[in-house]
Amino acid sequence: NLGSKCFCRTLLLSPSRIIFLSSCLMVELSFMARVILSRTQDIQTYLTVFIVLGTWPYFLFFCRGVKILGPFVLLIYKVILSDLIKFGIIYLIFVLGFSQSFYIIFSSYHGNNEQSGKCRPGNPLKSISESIMNTILMSLNDFDRITCHFDQTSHSSLSNIMFLLYMPISAVLLINLFIAMI
């Protein structure tokens, strides 16, 4: 009983170890899914992706002991814990606000279902999750699939104004992220 309490207290101080242990459990789940279920290729692929993502932070833990890599690993930990969390919160608030506004604008979408040029047929922002993903993609300069549909909404001038507000603000935010990481 005392050993399990000490083990849990130790895990709370090392989030990378928690992630690593959960990825070890996912290895076991992947093996069991392969043995028990017949259609496990998709499940095993998804689990493998999360397993690989979960083992890297623990690998960085061991790289701290290498003389050349140690300071860089500590710098990565410091940047992730301080700057990236602050940036992530600010960026999340920013993206959620603009994605909600784009979702409301595209709720009046009345476009046709024919493909014209770069525009794919149909409403590109049918759901909130698609709106969030496309807003993030727009901040990474993949805005062609959205901007070509602006004139097919009832609020085309408002959508252009929102886009013109969104792009410079997102560029400034991403440049600040780059400067914070240097």
**64 SS3 class:** coil
Q: Is-above-0.85 flag for pTM?
A: no
The pLDDT of residue 2: 66
173 vs 76, 149, 161, CA distance in Å?
20, 25, 19
30 vs 19, 33, 57, 60, 137, CA distance in Å?
16, 5, 20, 24, 32
The pLDDT of residue 3: 77
**119 SS3 class:** strand
Pick from 94, 90, 63: which is nearest to 180 by CA?
90
The pLDDT of residue 176: 80
pLDDT by residue for the chain (182 residues), tens only, comes to 667 888 888 877 777 788 888 898 999 988 888 777 766 577 788 888 889 988 888 888 788 888 888 888 888 878 777 777 788 888 899 999 999 999 998 888 887 656 566 677 778 888 899 999 989 988 888 878 788 888 888 888 998 899 999 999 888 888 887 776 66
The pLDDT of residue 40: 58
Q: What is the CA radius of gyration of the chain?
A: 22
List, in order, residues 6 or more apart from 20 with CB less than 8 Å away. 54, 55, 57, 58
* Length of the chain (residues): 182
The pLDDT of residue 165: 93
Task: Give, in degrees to the nearest 5, the angle at Cα 42 between 36 and 45.
Answer: 100
